[in-house]
Amino acid sequence: MRRLILLLLALILVSSSAPSWADSSSTAAEVGSSAGSALGTLVYAPLKVTFCILGGIASGFTAIASPPTAGKVAMASCGGAWIVTPNVIRGRETLKFVGDTSPNRATAAR
């Protein structure tokens, strides 16, 4: 009985860790990219907040002359990525600082 329990426990441990063996990235790379993501977000987020606030102010002044353009200014300044993901750190994605201002998105926001 004791052997059976030990064998089942060993099979459970090996089977639960088997998918991690198939992963091409190492644990150190995962930890490093996650730590870089957290640190990058701590630096990036205040800059993004400042950019969004200034864009909102500019959007208010732009609304006097052209309300549709004001919407584009607001979407450009407050859109985009707000956090740095591990995939950005690994180079698999790009960090999109400015938001999308395509005409389709502007009409959907109205």
Q: For the chain, what are the domain ranges?
A: 29-109
Q: Are 90 and 64 in contact (CB under 8 A)?
A: no
More confidently predicted of 107 and 5 = 5
Around 93, how many Cα atoms within 13 Å sit in the side-chain half-sphere?
14
- Report pTM: 0.63
- Average model confidence (pLDDT) across the chain: 77
**Residue 24 C-beta-side C-alpha neighbours within 13 Å:** 0
The pLDDT value given to residue 83 = 86
pLDDT at 69 over 50: yes
What's the pLDDT score for residue 51? 92
Q: Based on the number of CB atoms within 10 Å of its own CB, is 72 exposed (0-12), middle (13-18) or buried (19 or more)?
A: buried
pLDDT in tens, 13-61: 555 444 444 455 588 778 888 888 888 888 888 999 999 999 999 999 9
